[in-house]
Amino acid sequence: MSTPTKLNSFTGADYGEKATLTIPIGPTYEELFLETNLSAAQLKRVTISLNADEIIVLDGELIKKLEAYKGLASTEGFFTIPLSDITAKTKNGVRYTGLVTESGDNITLEVEIAPASQENAPKVQLQAWASVSARQQARVVVPKIKKQTMQASSTENEFLDLVSGPLQLVRRMHFLNGDIHSLQIHRDFVKVYDSSRKLEEMRAKRNRRYWQADCFHFDPIMRGFYIDELFPTAHGSELKFTVKTNQPQGSIPIIVESVEVVRPDLV
């Protein structure tokens, strides 16, 4: 059973400051909710760090965009930081990406707040809530959402720098560019994915996913099977993403949702 709980107060919750909250260990965290009077643009950087490693890096706009892609309703005054994928078709799929906490963990939530845009701005209101489930014996995977950047100086560009390995599995990759019209993926010179914007938009609609403006979504788990259909990144020679655009773009940010297996013997 998943239940809501109120977290402790932030320290430093003011304009132009970094608000910090230590997350208590014990339960499994499925989602975190920020209740605030701040706008998406004022949430400049939102991070969750597990033992000094940033595992979630987002901002207010990206939080809204990721939720909208999954077809989850947005409520004014709330921002949801996803850990578990609650749109999975099975309970195990939801639980697979929760943040299991263990004895000795140090987990912090930080929110960088933009400077006030006007004099006499209202006092910052910022409260964190969490959706939690029961303690688990051991952490098997760590959910991650991070940003990477690829160069796109031509109309056909290759991205070879995805954080990868035998224990790294991709949930989704969101290429933040609306000019991308096709994507190919080669693993060790074998084509494993080849699709176009039109085809992926159609497939997304069939699976109740909603493409966002100025994005190309690579979503191997769109059908809802959040364990069996994760995209493995293990390779011998190279894992190459070929992105084709109508015009050179300079660079393209990529939001990578992934899981890292930290106890493969328990998978």
| Contact (Cβ atoms closer than 8 angstroms) between residue 58 and residue 145 | yes
- pLDDT on residue 38: 97
19 and 72 share a domain?
yes
Cα distance between residue 215 and residue 35, in whole Å? 27
pLDDT mean for each 10 residues of the chain (267 residues): 93 96 96 97 98 97 96 95 87 84 96 92 96 91 96 96 96 97 97 97 96 96 91 97 96 97 88
What are the backbone angles phi and psi of residue 113, rounded to the nearest 5°?
Answer: -105, 135
- pLDDT on residue 1: 74
75 and 104 share a domain?
yes
CATH assignment at residue 68: 2.60.120.730
- pLDDT on residue 152: 95
- pLDDT on residue 26: 94
135 and 173 share a domain?
no
| Contact (Cβ atoms closer than 8 angstroms) between residue 188 and residue 235 | yes
158 and 261 share a domain?
yes
Pick the closest to residue 116 from 12, 16, 10 (CA basis). Answer: 16
162 and 222 share a domain?
yes
Domain assignment of residue 106, given as a range:
3-117+124-139
At 93, the amino acid letter reads G
Domain-terminating residue out of 104, 139, 174 = 139
- pLDDT on residue 92: 79
Structural domains in the chain (count): 2
22 and 85 share a domain?
yes
- pLDDT on residue 118: 84
12 and 27 share a domain?
yes
Q: The whole model's pTM is what?
A: 0.93
Cα distance between residue 191 and residue 97, in whole Å? 28
Pick the closest to residue 150 from 253, 258, 256 (CA basis). Answer: 253
147 and 250 share a domain?
yes
57 and 17 share a domain?
yes
213 and 180 share a domain?
yes
16 and 133 share a domain?
yes
